[in-house]
Amino acid sequence: GDSVTQMEGPVTLSEEAFLTINCTYTATGYPSLFWYVQYPGEGLQLLLKATKADDKGSNKGFEATYRKETTSFHLEKGSVQVSDSAVYFCALSDHTGANSKLTFGKGITLSVRP
C-alpha cells in the first residue's frame, strides 16, 4: 500500500538558518504530493503541492520538488523565521478511483529560535 516516510524529529533551528525536511514515498501509479503545516493551536493547512514528476511546489519561501527517480519530495527553505515554528506533514494522494484520500507521514515538529 501507499506510505510516506519523514525524517525523525523534532528539529530546532536558529532564525535565518537553512531548512531541509526529508520525505520519501511509496505508491502505485503517479501520486500527487503535498506538504501540510499545522501551526500551534490551528488546523492543518496546505503549504504546497506538486502533481507530476519534476514539478516544484512553492509557498511562503518554502519549496519542494517532485523527484520520481528518488521517490522524494523534500521540503526546503533558505531562511527560516520564528513564525515557521509548526508541525510539518508530507502527504500523497494516489487518485485511486474518485477517492483522493491523503496518506500522511508522521509529521515533524520544527522549532525556530530567535
Partner 1 sequence: GAGVSQSPSNKVTEKGKDVELRCDPISGHTALYWYRQSLGQGLEFLIYFQGNSAPDKSGLPSDRFSAERTGGSVSTLTIQRTQQEDSAVYLCASSFLSTGSNNEQFFGPGTRLTVL
Site residues (vs partner 1, CB under 8 A) = 36, 42-46, 49, 89, 91, 93, 95, 97-107
Nearer to partner 1, 36 or 80 (CB): 36
Nearer to partner 1, 77 or 93 (CB): 93
Short-list 61, 64, 55, CA closest to 77:
61
CB of 76 to partner 1, least distance (A): 22
Neighbours of 84 (CB within 10 A): 20
CB of 67 to partner 1, least distance (A): 22
CB of 79 to partner 1, least distance (A): 27
Nearer to partner 1, 45 or 81 (CB): 45
Q: Rounded to an integer, what distance in angstroms lies between the CA atom of residue 16 and that of residue 57?
A: 21
Q: Rounded to an integer, what distance in angstroms lies between the CA atom of residue 100 and that of residue 72?
A: 20
Given a contact cutoff of 8 angstroms between Cβ atoms, the answer to whether 3 and 103 are in contact is yes
